[in-house]
Amino acid sequence: MSTTPAPTSATGAGAPVAPRADGFGVRLAAAMADAGPVCVGIDPHAALLTQWGLPVDASGAREMGLRVVEEVAGSAAALKPQSAFFEVFGPEGVAALQEVLLAARSAGILTVLDVKRGDIGTTMGAYARTHLAEDSPMPADAITVSSYLGPDSLNPTVELARLTGRGVFALALTSNPEGERLQHIGGAGGSVAGAVVDWAGVTNAATGETPGPVGLVVGATIGSAVRDLGVDLSDAGGIMLAPGIGAQGAGAAELRDVFGDARDRVLASASRSVLGAGPERGAVRAAARATVDEVRAALA
C-alpha cells in the first residue's frame, strides 16, 4: 500500500489527493487519553426502547440516540451506533441514524458506525463512500468492516479512510463461538485471524501514522486465543475495539490475558452496561463515567 495512495479505487476521483495530517488513529488515541478508553454503543433495540419508555419505532431510536450523544459527549472517547437497530425501522430509521451521526459530529465526539461491511470492487467502494467520503450522506469517523473476503479487499476502503482522516475496524478475533471455526484455521503461527492482524500491521506501517487508521475488533472474552495462535497484537499498529467488557463479564484479568502488552491500545466497547442505566437524565452520563473509571483501572 502506497504512503500516498490515489483515491481512484475507492472514490472514482482522478488525480491523487494528499492524505489528511490528523489521522483517525491519532485523534482517537488523543480522545482515549482525554475522555477515557471507552466506546459507548447506541443500540436502540426493542427491550431498551421499552425500558426507556420510548416507542419501538424510528422516533424512539432517534430519541434514544440523541439523548446518548448529549450525555456521553465529553464522558467517553467515542460512540458506536449499531446500524441494524436503526435500519430495522426502514427509511425513517436510516434517517434517524443519519441525524444521530450528525449530532455526534456537532458535539465533537468521534463515531464508530457498527455496520460490518465487507465486499469487493465497486460494491465495497460504494459502502465506503456512504460513510467515509468528505461528502458522505451518513458520515462516520470510522466503520466496522469484515475482513473475511480477504483483508486486501479492504485496501481501497482504507485508502479513502486515510484520505479523509477516517478509519476502519476490521474483524480479527471475535467473541462469538462460531467465529473460532474460521478465524482459528491454520493454528499457531499461521491462523486466518493472524493473517488479518499481519495485514493491519503492514497497512498501518505504510501510512506512517501511529496509531494507524486500521483498527481491529478483538473480543475481550476470547480467553487465551491470542496466545494460543501466536498472534502479536502489539505489531498491528492500530487501536483494538474490544467488545465484551462489563455486561459480558470481561474484567482486568481477562484484559491482561487477551491483550497483554497491547492493553494501551484497547478501546473498550460498552453498551448494555451504560444504556441500561437510563432513561433518567444524567444516568447514562454517570454510567459512562463509571465505566471509564473501571476500564482505566482494568487496563492499568
* Whole-number Å distance between alpha carbons of 282 and 260: 34
Looking only at the bridges linking them, the beta strands covering 167-173 and 240-243 are: unpaired
- Amino acid code (one letter) for 295: V
Name every residue whose Cβ is closer than 8 Å to that of residue 245 and which is 6 or more positions away in sequence.
Answer: 220, 251, 255, 268, 269, 270, 295, 298
116 as an active site residue: the answer is: yes
Closest C-alpha among 29, 27, 60, 31 to residue 43 = 60
Q: 53: exposed, middle or buried (C-beta count within 10 Å: 0-12, 13-18, 19+)?
A: exposed
Burial class (CB within 10 angstroms; exposed 0-12, middle 13-18, buried 19+) of 181: exposed
Among the options 20, 45, 116, 296, which is catalytic? 116
| Whole-number Å distance between alpha carbons of 112 and 106 | 15
Q: Which residues belong to the active site?
A: 116
